[in-house]
A = this chain, B = another copy of it.
Amino acid sequence: MNKMIPAAEALPLNQILPGDCIEVMNSLPEGSVDLIFADPPYNLQLKGDLHRPDNSKVDAVDDEWDQFASFKVYDDFTREWLAAARRLLKPNGAIWVIGSYHNVFRMGAELQNQGFWILNDVVWRKSNPMPNFRGKRLTNAHETLIWAQKSEDSKATFNYEALKSLNEGVQMRSDWVIPICNGGERLKDDNGEKAHPTQKPEALLHRVLVGTTNPGDVVLDPFFGTGTTGAVAKMLGREFIGIEREEAYRKVAEKRISKIRKFDKEALTVSTSKRAEPRVAFGQLVERGMLRPGETLIGPRGQIAKVRADGTLISGEARGSIHQVGAALESAPSCNGWTYWAFKRDGKTVSIDVLRQQIRAEMR
């Protein structure tokens, strides 16, 4: 790592870097990336690449040895690129990997072995999968993604409300129905053949990036292919770094991404949770005279408490914050006093949360 240059400035943003992804990742400054999306190759047909100890004839035992050896080669490869990826991540960074049953179990186990902390596994349910023509198995209608943060105590970005909005106001689930990439989105080469065998749909990356990054975040894809990650990142105002070994793919991806335009800033603002709202102390309502010391608050089933000048409540034996007194009256471990308590105005019962909204509106 070059200590002369601050990491952020040393990052080659919005570029496609040629070469082997492990080498290239190891040349980049550590702790500099917010999110990694990785769609590694999963062909296990590595037998031809293996160096046998001798030229013995292929028999059943050798077949088993072959299979074991090919898993070992794949596992070594997985271990190396995951370690390089992990080094690049910021402490609160996260990774998505995608695979099928051929490789995803090995990737998932290695993620755990390296200390990544799995947050969800997600099923991409293909609405239009290729049927199983021979009728010997089930239609292979899904692929599996794993979402993991760098370590158990990382605080990965999760835009809960944005994903809920994407899902008609209902909490987003771990199974995503998205069509495979075809039609106009499917990139073709000069011969009209598909430019990449496993091009991922932009809808998939849209959901990943909206849900687990913020605008301006750095997203790295070590198996860039024809650049779906980069294309969607650019649309969504994220910075990307692509790594791709094959020149043909790099060319297609560069052309593709050059044509993309970033969405308006307004369109990129997503729904946020209440957690992101500025915190308001209940005492402020008293200070401002919105509630008076001595005034009575009412709980959901008629419970009564009195407001004190310091912004605490008193109700029977219980005294303390709006939350503590609410919890005490409910014999509950906790209580959100803002939604629990109400007061009377002009004969009507009004939640104290309305007053908090007023203060928040003034703050904007």
Contacts and interface: CB of A to CB of B under 8 A. Distances in A.
Given A263-B293, A270-B308, A363 B139 contact: no
Interface string A308-352: 111110100001110000000010111100000000000000000
Interface in A276-315: 279, 281-284, 286-289, 292-294, 306-312, 314
B281 A166 contact: yes
B123 A308 contact: no
Nearest to A278: B177
A343 B194 CA distance: 31
A253 to B, nearest CB: 17
A264 interface: yes
Contact of A287 (B68, B107, B207): B207
Given A158-B137, A206-B287, A263-B294, A105 B115 contact: no
Determine how many copies of this chain the complex contains.
2
A179 interface: yes
A123 B105 contact: no
Interface residues of A, number: 110
A51 interface: yes
Given A166-B283, A279-B168, A129 B173 contact: yes
Given A113-B68, A137-B120, A206-B286, A55 B332 contact: yes
A217 interface: no
Given A105-B104, A118-B101, A288 B166 contact: no
Interface string A80-109: 000000000000000000001110111111
Given A286-B206, A289-B185, A174 B140 contact: yes
A19 interface: no
A311 B132 contact: no
